[in-house]
Chains A and B, each alone.
Chain A
Amino acid sequence: TQLLEQSPQFLSIQEGENLTVYCNSSSVFSSLQWYRQEPGEGPVLLVTVVTGGEVKKLKRLTFQFGDARKDSSLHITAAQPGDTGLYLCAGLTSGTYKYIFGTGTRLKVLA
């Protein structure tokens, strides 16, 4: 069974702090996505990474795909209350055409 473990599970920080969320697996993925989900809504795609070692920046968010394409990280600089939500990673295994979602990291940024 493929598993995507995210850590930490919960994170409560003050506005302005930096944080990193990790997404780890023993499986190799052809691509990996990060989503944010807010209460009462479906997940919204933040980024897709496809190349081992790839780094993508989206304003204050930096995403990295591991060299071996088994893990990924999301780093948020100077977190804001608007960053509050459930962050999910999702990996796509080559040939299966279905995403395996991570266990999720619930982030709360306090003003």
Chain B
Amino acid sequence: KAGVTQTPRYLIKTRGQQVTLSCSPISGHRSVSWYQQTPGQGLQFLFEYFSETQRNKGNFPGRFSGRQFSNSRSEMNVSTLELGDSALYLCASSFAGLAGTDTQYFGPGTRLTVL
């Protein structure tokens, strides 16, 4: 069974640009969550999508958005990039979502560098 895949793995952008990251969940999983990981703030929850609907979101500005397609694949978009957006962006999939004991399977992440 293939794991969670994220593309691209590495990305370099400049301030003010926008970026779109992609996540393909494990086959059969309907929930996709996105996280930002930085050395200073650690791993922080961005949002969760389940059956094409955003079910939960963290405390990030509106520049961060996402969507999920009917095949459960998800994309995350960051507009007007800032230097502080440099981070490892992780995607995690699960069958039923963040409901206590459902296991999240993480992808390898996309390393975004903003210059």
A residues adjacent to B (C-beta < 8 A)? 30-31, 40-45, 48, 50, 88, 90, 92, 96-104
B106: chain A residues at CB < 8 Å are 41-44
Instruction: Encode contact with A along B87-112: 1 for CB under 8 Å, 0 otherwise.
Output: 00011100001111101111111000
A90: chain B residues at CB < 8 Å are 43
Query: How far is B99's CA from A102's CA once the two chains are assembled, in angstroms?
Result: 19
Whether the pair A41, B56 counts as a contact (CB closer than 8 A) is no
Whether the pair B42, A97 counts as a contact (CB closer than 8 A) is no
Whether the pair B48, A42 counts as a contact (CB closer than 8 A) is no
The 10 closest A-B pairs by CB, nearest first: A42-B106, A101-B43, A97-B98, A98-B45, A43-B106, A98-B56, A42-B90, A31-B100, A97-B56, A48-B101
Query: How far is B101's CA from A5's CA once the two chains are assembled, in angstroms?
Result: 21
Query: How far is B5's CA from A94's CA once the two chains are assembled, in angstroms?
Result: 29
B45: chain A residues at CB < 8 Å are 98-101
Q: How many A-B residue pairs have CB under 8 A?
A: 56
Whether the pair A98, B58 counts as a contact (CB closer than 8 A) is yes
A42: chain B residues at CB < 8 Å are 4, 90-92, 106-109
Which range holds the interface residue count of chain B?
A: 20 to 34
A-B contacts, 17 of them at CB < 8 A, read A31-B100, A40-B108, A41-B109, A42-B92, A43-B90, A45-B103, A48-B103, A88-B42, A88-B43, A92-B98, A97-B56, A98-B45, A98-B58, A99-B98, A101-B42, A101-B44, A104-B43
Specify the main secondary structure of chain A where it touches its partner.
loop
CB distance from B64 to the nearest CB of A (A): 15
CB distance from B89 to the nearest CB of A (A): 10
Instruction: Encode contact with A along B61-88: 1 for CB under 8 Å, 0 otherwise.
Output: 0000000000000000000000000000
